[in-house]
Amino acid sequence: MTVINVIYQSRGGNTQKVAEAIVDECGVEAVDIQEPNNISRSDLLFVGMGIYAGKPDSSMLDYLDQLPVNAIKGAALFSTSATGTDHLALAVNLLEHKGIAVYPRHLLVKGRFLLMNKGKPGEEELEDARDFAAEVLDAFNY
């Protein structure tokens, strides 16, 4: 049986919204890394994080660093930020160092921050998240 998990870290709710759109496509539940959980094995792990001051939140990087080696086969990354810019290299490096195959395309979503990007992520971005999940599932043959 294929095990698919979706984890996320979200300060303001933007990344949580995207994670919930991804689970719509995957048929699993999203797990906030701030809540107690036990992701000990996964064939495919969707990892969502907010980007703050140009880098992923340290709590997600710490979480990824603690993942067991050889327990996760593949991962797909998504992030939210005010700029929608890819700042996931640190997370990719952590996962690849553990032998996890990382899907080469990342989902980058503009999120609301203070007065910037009002209404984001909106339905268009959430549909992009569902499409991304379907693309990844297809690429990993799930």
Question: What is the Cα gyration radius of the chain?
Answer: 14
How far apart are the C-alpha atoms of 6 and 75, rounded to whole Å? 10
Residue ranges of domains in the chain, CATH in brackets: 4-139 (3.40.50.360)
What end-to-end distance do the CA atoms of the chain give, in Å?
10
Convert the pLDDT of each residue in 97-112 to its tens digit. 999 999 999 999 977 6
Torsions phi, psi for 9 (to 5 deg): -130, 130
Q: Which amino acid is at 18?
A: V
Pair of tokens at residue 21:
């759109």
Whether residue 71 contacts residue 43, with contact meaning beta carbons closer than 8 Å, is answered with no
Convert the pLDDT of each residue in 117-128 to its tens digit. 665 788 999 999
